[in-house]
A = this chain, B = another copy of it.
């Protein structure tokens, strides 16, 4: 397992409820790919959403996001953390 940060652009105007619903949708199926989405942060003004996850691969992260209708624009492994 490794840690990943993925980034979504174009989410201008996203609300707290929409972020929660998107996160819940990911959580509902994440186990099928061995992924766990730990947290997400959103900036409705710039339309950027960051998601932190643990997963076997970047592709696994992306497959969950694609199935829940919000493909990430970037998925980066972040092996270092403080």
Contact = CB atoms under 8 A, between A and B. Distances in A.
Interface of A: 3, 5, 14-16, 19-20, 23, 39-46, 48, 50, 52, 76-82
Contacts of A14: 80
Stoichiometry, copies per complex? 2
A76 B20 contact: no
Contacts of A23: 82
A63 to B, nearest CB: 20
A47 to B, nearest CB: 10
Contacts of A3: 41
A80 to B, nearest CB: 4
Given A50-B5, A50-B50, A82 B40 contact: yes
